Structure 1
Amino acid sequence: MKAKRLVSKRLRKSALCAAMGLCLSSGLLWQPAFAANTDGSLVGRTTPGATVTVRSPDTGFTRTVTADAEGNYRFPFLPVGNYQVEATRDGQQVTQPLQTSISLGNATVLNMGGGDGATNLAAVQVTGSRVITPVDVTSTESATNIRREEIERLPVQRDITDVATLAPGVNRGEFGGISFGGSSVAENTVYINGLNVTDFYNRVGFSSLPFSFLDEFQIKTGGYSVEYGRSTGGVINAVTRRGTNEFQGGVDLVVDGLWQAEGENHPNLFRRWDESRQNDYAAWGSGALIQDRLFFFGIYEKRDLDSQNTDDGGENFFDNRGDNDFWGAKLDWQINDANLLELFGFSDKSKTVSDNYEFDTTTGRRGQLRNTVTSENGGDNWAATYTGYFTDNFSMKAMYGENERSASALGANDDRCSLVQDRRMSDSFLGCTSNTSVIDRNDTREATRLDFEWNIGDHLLRFGADHETNTSDYNSHYPGDGLRYEVNNAGARVNGVDVPAGTVYVRTRQVANQGTFETENAAYYIEDNWNVTSNLLLNLGVRVESFDNKDAAGHSYIKLDNMVAPRFGFSWDMNGDGRSKLFGNAGRYYLPVANVINIKQAGPFLDARRFYFWDGTFAPGDNPIPGLGPEIGTVDDSQGDGSVADLRGEVDKDMDPVYQDEYILGFQQVLGEKWSWGVSGTYRKMHNAIDDMEVVNACGDSGFVMGNPGQDLTYFTDTDCDGESDGFVTIDTSKTGWELRDGTMIGWVKPERTYKAVELQLDRAWDDKWSFNATYVWSQSKGNYEGPVNSDTDFSDSGRTEAFDNPFVEIGGYGYLPNDHRHQIKLRGNYAITDHWIVGASLDAKSGRPMSEYGAGNPFDDNEFLTHYICESEPSLCYTPDGQWRLAQRGTYDTLPWTYNLGASLAYNATFGRVKLNAKFAVYNLLNDQRVIERNETRQEEEGVGLMNPFFGQGTAYQSPRSAQFILSLVF
């Protein structure tokens, strides 16, 4: 008995020492990387020729392999979970059976005895929820793993986005997206059970699942291997819960919006009456339909949304209610120990009804009902995955799935009410609608992939292919008569025409589009993981990709193929004891073209803009259309005239793709039994951009062409000046393409973006008593190109920004970019007061983003585009020799303040017979800091050169007020 206790003590001590390898990974940066995106693997060394058996106590899944002549063994494609591992030789145990865990996307190392029979237990499972792994020479990736058990102990919202922001260098960005390592929010990829659920329309957002359905998350911040692509930001990888032999059921109650602080009002941004409450009620069940063979997990969640808010100007009040029920299910069929089949599906369809009322900000009372808008989103999703273990050394996975995301918005008044704005005083809408677009869109992804592993001596070959067909059915237009009316103060010119001082004009805009648009993305990859020595591993891989965006007629119009993405990594176990490691990697990553480009450019798109003198009147009643006087200039339909254009004249024939090169070097070390630390440096450089440029041809005619700014552009245009396009012309857009007032031709600067970061981390493993995690990131994001969306000017059409409309937009545009947060500190931890009570805390502190100062127009020609030039003269003088212009360099106007977000939680856990109770009360933004996180950066509006924007510098976004959440879970 004494000997048994001694062995147990040694195992636990060994485990805690080994824990430091994954203390970093489960809370921080680095993980062994060689596993598929739905499971993990088990590798190690034992007596040569030994039979190694792994068995899941939860499902009975059992596999056996034979160690090679050097004692190496490997189990690929193991489902996430707990396992018992045993090694025998000639009928005798090499060691006693060991318990370990397999985590998502990682290789768990477990050494069991050596050639001399000595026992070397390099990794076992510590009591608690963290997976314990030593520093492993197969790790070249930067990733953070978080299990649901850890989230239950911390003040973290039950949302994938909030979980992702626990990783260093990851922050919330514009449009509800996430920024990884200085990238824009439109550069990430999200997988659920291996199915890509990223919104391919504009690459911001993804299909949502309730936390009660999810089991483990992996956030890849860099260095990910060749099976991953289509991302120059980061990858979020998650798996759902699955059934076991034990029948279980449970209910979860989540009450959001408790102890909600009042939002602060600001000029032209009213938040005092904003309030959001949502209750979620989930019921789930799991078990075995056939013992040790067929398992199920099913969940249904009812979501009751009740929220209210005003628009920025406080003139409209919205009362919102939602009926957003969710269902999800997963089946796992262990056909036999060599063949597995998984099927999962979910529906995240949601419906929100919003009543729009008149509002009085003085009394806080709502008035007459103006409109009711019904919005529908989400869709049905499913995937089937087959895993085959053909030999001890050769395995495969095959997956097919479909991801659906719909988006529609329809107002009760949309048939009769038009959009009207008086932009002289506010951006708020007047009248009986504020619905900016009547949209009906359905996006469907069909995804297929194959992944293989072949172990040949010191080489592990991994190869495979994946293919996606992304189809968008799209229909959009403005409500009412299909026009949007804007009343504006004029500058010296309107629509290219000189106007008298003090002129007030009306711009009408008609935007409409309808069609079916398809994109095909395909890739294949191969990778060799070569154990050069027992302590040094080289990772050599290449991924070859292709992107094919098609027009509404099904013809390819942006086709990028043979894109070679090499990846190289190394990992050196410096002392050969698994306690310290030097690693690094270099790789290239390509970014696909979003479907919004197909829709906005390659369909029957209409964007007609007309300009009129205002007659000083508005129509009576609740549809106050402004009175139109004489028209100013001609119709501008350069963005689309309602027909499918000859795209040869709108797209570069020899376009280059957008890609990013990344380099990472890091060090990781165990400190004692429970602590670890690490440091890494990251350098990223973005190459190219794909965006629209207004190009002037040799005949003086202009039009927008999609291409690579600052590079050669080949497009179909008029070569003999007869008014008809008749041939291809190649121009160097770094030197020509835009005509100045004096007839001189100039070109565009090349897009640039670099990201430099140093990351420090310290971690203390959870041991049933307490844990702690700290990261500090110093980073710098600099250049003239944020990415395919613009945060500073709120332009979210991915790849179709204003950044390169003409060459002047980027003059002065090199500087610190909107996702530059120079310093970021993240702390989190928890402490078990008793066996039942746990307190948790988190802090996210970061320096503010830089602020720019945008103007309109420039001193070199008469065109009025968003630029970094500010005219400081009277409007009538701006385009004369007496005009005074100032160049405002990007990011130099100001830096926003630091923000601090402190969270706290108290959790209670207890067991009453067969019932397990978990309760948590969490408070977010405990100190109720409501600091500004975004400001209006437009000093002068387009069409208003010389006129100062009264809203410049005003806050447009602030930290969310304090709120609390109560979670109650019962497991039967």
Structure 2
Amino acid sequence: MNSRTLRKTALCMAMGVCLSSMLPLAQAASNDGALVGRLVAGGGQSVAGAQITVRNSETGLTRSVRADADGGYRFPFLPIGNYTVEVSKDGYQPARADDVRVSLGNATSVNITLAATATLEAVEVVGTTSGMVVDVTSTESAMNVTKAELDRLPVERSAQAVALLAPGVTTGAFGGISFGGSSVAENTVYINGLNVTDFYRRIGFSSVPFSFFKEFQVKTGGYSVEFGRTTGGVINAVTNSGSNEFKFGTELTWEPRFLQTEGSDKYNPDGSKVSYQYDEYDRTNLNAYASGPLIPDKLFFYVMYEARDYKDVTVTNDEGQQFRSSSPDDFWGAKLDWQISDGHLLELFAFSDKNSTVRNDYLFDGQSGQRGAFTNRRYTDSGGNNYALTYTGYLSDSFSMKFLAGGNERDRVQKSLNDIDCSRIRDRRSGGGDVGCTTSGLIEEGKDERKAYRLDFEWSLDDHLLRFGLDREENTSDNVSFYPGPERLLYEIFTTSPGATLANGGVVPAGVTAYVRGRQQEVSGTFETLNTAYYLEDNWSITPRLTLNLGLRLEGFDNKNGEGDTYIKMDDMLAPRLGLSWDVGGDGRSKLFANAGRYFLPVSNIINVKQAGAFLDRRTFWAFNGFQPFQYNGQTYQNLVLGPQIGPVDDSQGDGSVGDLRGEVDKDMDAVYQDEFILGFQSMLDDKWGWGVRGIHRKLHNAIDDMELTSNGILCDGEPTSIGYVMANPGRDVTVYTDTNCDGVNDGYVTIDTSRRGWALYDDDGNYIGERGYTEPKRTYKALELQLDRAWDGLWSLNASYTLSYSRGNAEGPVNTDTGFSDTGRTEHFDDPYVDLNAEGSLPNDHRHQIKLRGAYALSDSWRLGGTLTALSGAPISGLGVGNPFDGTNYHSFYICVQNCTADNPSERVYRLSPRGSYGRMPWRYDVGASISYAHSFGEVDLGVTLAVYNLFNGTRVTAVDQDLQTDIGDELNPTFRYGTDYQSPRYAQLKVKLDF
């Protein structure tokens, strides 16, 4: 450690704080930190009753407590930042420590040795504010990264890019990230203690400009009971705040096209292209911020405005389309901090990440690279306002509390100019071809709103630290889906004959040989989900070297339909958490720790919307009187000429109300949950170097998905009664409302053991011969992580990690990468029993080897280099078929038809098993980032310039492939099987210029 001799008013810091270490510190609250320690005299005896005072160096926040009988003290719920610690006690010399760092989600430990007043000799002070430290009381797995470290590195400017620095975190499908083998729809993101995760699909989250953030904490496992509703990982971040010093500045971030390497053309076997050299983008962000005191030592502000300009050009394929997008939306954010008194704090923050994207579509000649005529314009609205009010109260030296109330909004609107102007027209007489100027299906418009409340308490009782609280979220989705066009009707033309009776009872008039059905189909409603939790945790210092963290979280999920009635409810779910940490040498330099916990995942709101809305299916019939050609965007289309209406309007299939969902939802459904076990060891090598090893075992025990039940187990005239699609736990007992007395009317509940029953079996003659069940979903993740870290000392830093992992099972999670299903909880896995039959193997997020390096080096006081390396082994490749050797259903499966594939009778076809992951793996991919930075002060102005290059060596490895070995039941294999569908982004550079005043 660094050591120096001070005057006799000094202290001995046995432990300091690591600003950005891979080695996690003791857990604290979600958007702040804590400062803890113990006072001893020169002989090692505890010093009780001393007064300890901490003062924030930037805001003047001051708090004082008295040391307990063992000399211990604790300051919970402290805003992150640098503090001065002062100690006074009659009979002892005053002691003081400066620049003690309190970091996000951690408890900084400062142990102080007091010298008696009569002692005259100087005291040797041993301490660190930026070196390596092992917190021997923590059992959590987390990585803290400050903005200062990120400014030294070539890290893309997003919270997801920060999370990818942590071991075991990889890029996943649909723009998300995977923690520890989980799917991309299982993570949670917090900003200033507010949950900003998209609860509709659980894939995205609200975000702010990178320069608005102050510090990140990435939790990869073992997190405490105050965190829940995730079976993946947690990104926890805080934003900048004001201080006693007035500051303002501006930052330009520029990613110009001329600093991008031109992409290369990628081809399918037939010569068609899947990616183009013409794909490009241009991004410019310019922000300005101001901060300072409104009332010194009392009231502070921080505000930021960012103007954004983003344009991209994407070419699809040789069919000839080019898309040109523009997103000119701006960002604003603000934070107010009011230190009402030393014992009461109030914080208000708000931001808007509203975004509107306009995309113009054109014809395109893939051979000449020339753009053609305009064809459509598409509009996408996303994001919204976010806000939170937080009160912190230090009610006594040992009892503190925090209350948060906040919320966020997210728009979900996608529509096109064609969809507004054009109705969809399909001519079913000739195979269902489209003849109108749009081919869109149902258009969906929605808005999501979260209202969040949480109350947290902390109570210190001698060797016990009790933490307890509750949190509640009211997640509401307003949603409507409808067909395109001014009338919101889907027009379909059918052949008929005079005198025929149509579905609405109307009789076809004489001379009419074709009719038009206009279908108005809408699903609408306001859908609410209530998620509640209560938690209690005891951090018990059993001995000075042994700490036990024992916690319990009680979860409840309540999903409601479009009329506000509960239709999925899961409560009294107990999530125990147990952690144990042992200070091996008794000197705070190494520890052995273990952690076990259970984590529950809520049902996303897309399930409410897709299944439990008010359903309108109104059908009107007319005589078909031919087409009328018309011009639209330079193209010729056909419009309908309608004859007289035939019969009444029919809404028998859906009258606009919410149906009886008891036949579509398991009454006794259990939540998705995962059990996790961690065993690890951490050790300091010296004040700058540390290393650690961690073993992880995760097991997913359940799934919630839509599954088709073709038998309720009750035979009527020798035939089973089909139930249809049910939201349930596949492979477990399902209790559903159905027809129990063969009168065609649902009248009672039956319970079906879907591990053995639920899918009706028939022989070649169509006779019922029994039932079969579904495979229970499985997912197991095992990993060994090794880490080595050298903390930044003003000259250089290094972090290295290696992860060996195995992710196996038959279900990736609530979304499905290999078949492209992103509707969370509505995958193809259980559409029949054969999709997941014999499907166990290496899952899509199984990257066997991960190597990650990051570091920085100061060339001088002004110049600095930074670098990152990620080496990731490829994901497994499966060869998916269509159909199965047991019946005629045609979903994805792990069976391939090899003989008699065109036979009408499914039993005559010959299949072979195509095991999951049996077609090799995608190649390793390497991503190297490099940056050079210049910083210099010109009087009162600080200038910073950084040039960062990503994918330095322009790797073009494939990141996704076509895994359909067969696309239909036939003798031919898919010619594009194992061909790439996505690749690494070409090399690009980013220039950042920052001025601070």
Q: Determine the C-alpha separation between the residues in 2 that align with 1:435 and 1:216.
A: 43
Amino acid at match of 1:108: T
Point out the more displaced range, 948-957 or 285-294: 948-957
1:644 aligns with 2:658: yes
1:291 aligns with 2:305: no
Aligned residues: 917
Larger gyration radius, structure 1 or structure 2: 2
Equivalent position of 2:760 in the other structure: 739
Q: Could you tell me whether the CA contact under 8 Å between 2:966 and 2:973 is conserved in 1? A: yes
Amino acid at match of 2:180: G
> Is the alpha carbon distance of 1:556 and 1:116 closer, same or farther for their aligned partners in structure 2, counting shifts above 3 Å?
farther
Deviation at 1:91, TM superposition (A): 7.3
SS of 2:5 mapped into structure 1:
helix
Q: Could you tell me whether the CA contact under 8 Å between 2:48 and 2:71 is conserved in 1? A: yes
Deviation at 1:434, TM superposition (A): 7.2
Equivalent position of 1:227 in the other structure: 226
Q: Determine the C-alpha separation between the residues in 1 that align with 2:321 and 2:870.
A: 33
Deviation at 1:257, TM superposition (A): 3.9
Q: Could you tell me whether the CA contact under 8 Å between 2:93 and 2:116 is conserved in 1? A: no
Q: Determine the C-alpha separation between the residues in 1 that align with 2:334 and 2:911.
A: 62
SS of 2:274 mapped into structure 1:
coil
SS of 1:150 mapped into structure 2:
helix
Q: Could you tell me whether the CA contact under 8 Å between 1:859 and 1:885 is conserved in 2? A: yes
1:595 aligns with 2:609: no
Q: Which of 763, 769, 779 is the matching residue for 2:795?
A: 769
Equivalent position of 1:504 in the other structure: none
Q: Determine the C-alpha separation between the residues in 2 that align with 1:484 and 1:272.
A: 40
1:790 aligns with 2:795: no
1:806 aligns with 2:807: no
Note the 1:55-70 alignment, pairs <5 A. 55-70=55-70
SS of 1:149 mapped into structure 2:
helix
Q: Could you tell me whether the CA contact under 8 Å between 1:203 and 1:594 is conserved in 2? A: yes
Deviation at 1:701, TM superposition (A): 2.2
Q: Which of 120, 125, 129 is the matching residue for 1:125?
A: 129
Deviation at 1:28, TM superposition (A): 2.2
Q: Determine the C-alpha separation between the residues in 2 that align with 1:271 and 1:857.
A: 34
> Alignment identity in percent?
54
Q: Determine the C-alpha separation between the residues in 1 that align with 2:398 and 2:241.
A: 27
Q: Determine the C-alpha separation between the residues in 2 that align with 1:955 and 1:435.
A: 27
Q: Could you tell me whether the CA contact under 8 Å between 2:721 and 2:739 is conserved in 1? A: no
Q: Deviations over 1:772-806 (max 9, x none)?
A: 11000000000011000001111011111111111
Q: Could you tell me whether the CA contact under 8 Å between 2:483 and 2:490 is conserved in 1? A: yes
SS of 2:356 mapped into structure 1:
strand
Q: Determine the C-alpha separation between the residues in 1 that align with 2:894 and 2:786.
A: 36
Equivalent position of 1:39 in the other structure: 32
Q: Which runs of 5+ in 1 are unaligned?
A: 127-131, 423-427, 487-507, 610-616, 628-636
SS of 1:792 mapped into structure 2:
coil
> Is the alpha carbon distance of 1:51 and 1:27 closer, same or farther for their aligned partners in structure 2, counting shifts above 3 Å?
closer
Q: Determine the C-alpha separation between the residues in 1 that align with 2:66 and 2:572.
A: 40
> Is the alpha carbon distance of 1:388 and 1:524 closer, same or farther for their aligned partners in structure 2, counting shifts above 3 Å?
same
Q: Which of 349, 354, 369 is the matching residue for 1:349?
A: 354
> Is the alpha carbon distance of 1:903 and 1:288 closer, same or farther for their aligned partners in structure 2, counting shifts above 3 Å?
same
Q: Could you tell me whether the CA contact under 8 Å between 2:15 and 2:109 is conserved in 1? A: no
Q: Could you tell me whether the CA contact under 8 Å between 2:886 and 2:907 is conserved in 1? A: no
> Is the alpha carbon distance of 1:880 and 1:550 closer, same or farther for their aligned partners in structure 2, counting shifts above 3 Å?
closer
Equivalent position of 1:85 in the other structure: 85
Equivalent position of 1:905 in the other structure: 931
Q: TM-score under structure 2 normalisation? A: 0.88
Deviation at 1:881, TM superposition (A): 4.7
1:711 aligns with 2:732: yes
Q: Determine the C-alpha separation between the residues in 1 that align with 2:547 and 2:892.
A: 51
Equivalent position of 1:579 in the other structure: 589
Q: Could you tell me whether the CA contact under 8 Å between 1:669 and 1:676 is conserved in 2? A: yes
> Is the alpha carbon distance of 1:471 and 1:245 closer, same or farther for their aligned partners in structure 2, counting shifts above 3 Å?
same
Deviation at 1:864, TM superposition (A): 1.6
Equivalent position of 1:953 in the other structure: 978
Deviation at 1:946, TM superposition (A): 4.9
Q: Determine the C-alpha separation between the residues in 2 that align with 1:285 and 1:669.
A: 42
Q: Determine the C-alpha separation between the residues in 2 that align with 1:282 and 1:434.
A: 41
Equivalent position of 1:969 in the other structure: 994
Deviation at 1:171, TM superposition (A): 1.2
Equivalent position of 1:322 in the other structure: 327
> Is the alpha carbon distance of 1:694 and 1:4 closer, same or farther for their aligned partners in structure 2, counting shifts above 3 Å?
closer
Deviation at 1:18, TM superposition (A): 5.5
Deviation at 1:263, TM superposition (A): 1.9
Q: Deviations over 1:487-521 (max 9, x none)?
A: xxxxxxxxxxxxxxxxxxxxx99974221100000
Q: Could you tell me whether the CA contact under 8 Å between 2:10 and 2:94 is conserved in 1? A: no
1:410 aligns with 2:407: no
Q: Determine the C-alpha separation between the residues in 2 that align with 1:329 and 1:57.
A: 22
Q: Deviations over 1:343-370 (max 9, x none)?
A: 0000111111111101110111111100
Equivalent position of 1:540 in the other structure: 550
Q: Determine the C-alpha separation between the residues in 2 that align with 1:820 and 1:417.
A: 45
Deviation at 1:167, TM superposition (A): 0.7
Q: Could you tell me whether the CA contact under 8 Å between 1:109 and 1:123 is conserved in 2? A: no
Q: Determine the C-alpha separation between the residues in 1 that align with 2:356 and 2:492.
A: 29
Equivalent position of 2:385 in the other structure: 380
Q: Determine the C-alpha separation between the residues in 1 that align with 2:732 and 2:3.
A: 72
Amino acid at match of 1:952: F
Q: Determine the C-alpha separation between the residues in 1 that align with 2:636 and 2:230.
A: 45
Amino acid at match of 1:667: F
Equivalent position of 1:170 in the other structure: 169
Deviation at 1:832, TM superposition (A): 0.3
Q: Could you tell me whether the CA contact under 8 Å between 1:315 and 1:361 is conserved in 2? A: yes
Equivalent position of 1:925 in the other structure: 951
> Is the alpha carbon distance of 1:837 and 1:11 closer, same or farther for their aligned partners in structure 2, counting shifts above 3 Å?
farther
Equivalent position of 1:860 in the other structure: 886
Q: Deviations over 1:925-949 (max 9, x none)?
A: 011111111111122336x555543
Q: Determine the C-alpha separation between the residues in 1 that align with 2:15 and 2:974.
A: 60
Deviation at 1:856, TM superposition (A): 1.4
Deviation at 1:853, TM superposition (A): 1.4
Q: Determine the C-alpha separation between the residues in 2 that align with 1:779 and 1:484.
A: 52
Deviation at 1:878, TM superposition (A): 6.6
Q: Could you tell me whether the CA contact under 8 Å between 2:8 and 2:93 is conserved in 1? A: no
Q: Determine the C-alpha separation between the residues in 2 that align with 1:324 and 1:148.
A: 25
Deviation at 1:672, TM superposition (A): 2.2
Amino acid at match of 2:742: C
Q: Could you tell me whether the CA contact under 8 Å between 2:217 and 2:235 is conserved in 1? A: yes
Deviation at 1:720, TM superposition (A): 2.1
Note the 1:133-212 alignment, pairs <5 A. 134-212=133-211
Q: Could you tell me whether the CA contact under 8 Å between 1:256 and 1:279 is conserved in 2? A: yes
Equivalent position of 1:553 in the other structure: 563
Deviation at 1:908, TM superposition (A): 0.5
Q: Deviations over 1:228-258 (max 9, x none)?
A: 0000000000001000000000000000245
Q: Which of 288, 307, 311 is the matching residue for 1:302?
A: 307
Equivalent position of 1:879 in the other structure: 905
Deviation at 1:812, TM superposition (A): 1.9
Note the 1:297-696 alignment, pairs <5 A. 297-312=302-317, 315-417=320-422, 438-480=443-485, 512-605=522-615, 622=635, 644-696=658-710
Q: Could you tell me whether the CA contact under 8 Å between 2:139 and 2:222 is conserved in 1? A: yes
Q: Deviations over 1:80-125 (max 9, x none)?
A: 0000001110175343333301000000000111698997967542
Q: Determine the C-alpha separation between the residues in 2 that align with 1:961 and 1:314.
A: 24
Deviation at 1:470, TM superposition (A): 0.2
Deviation at 1:314, TM superposition (A): 5.2
1:243 aligns with 2:245: no
Deviation at 1:877, TM superposition (A): 2.1
SS of 2:174 mapped into structure 1:
helix
Amino acid at match of 1:30: P
Q: TM-score under structure 1 normalisation? A: 0.90
Q: Could you tell me whether the CA contact under 8 Å between 1:638 and 1:703 is conserved in 2? A: no
Deviation at 1:372, TM superposition (A): 0.8
Q: Could you tell me whether the CA contact under 8 Å between 2:24 and 2:134 is conserved in 1? A: no
Equivalent position of 1:102 in the other structure: 102
Amino acid at match of 1:145: N
Q: Which runs of 5+ in 2 are unaligned?
A: 40-46, 428-432, 494-517, 620-626, 641-650, 715-719
Deviation at 1:484, TM superposition (A): 11
Equivalent position of 1:778 in the other structure: 804
Q: Could you tell me whether the CA contact under 8 Å between 2:679 and 2:695 is conserved in 1? A: yes
Q: Determine the C-alpha separation between the residues in 1 that align with 2:876 and 2:234.
A: 26
Q: Determine the C-alpha separation between the residues in 1 that align with 2:565 and 2:382.
A: 29
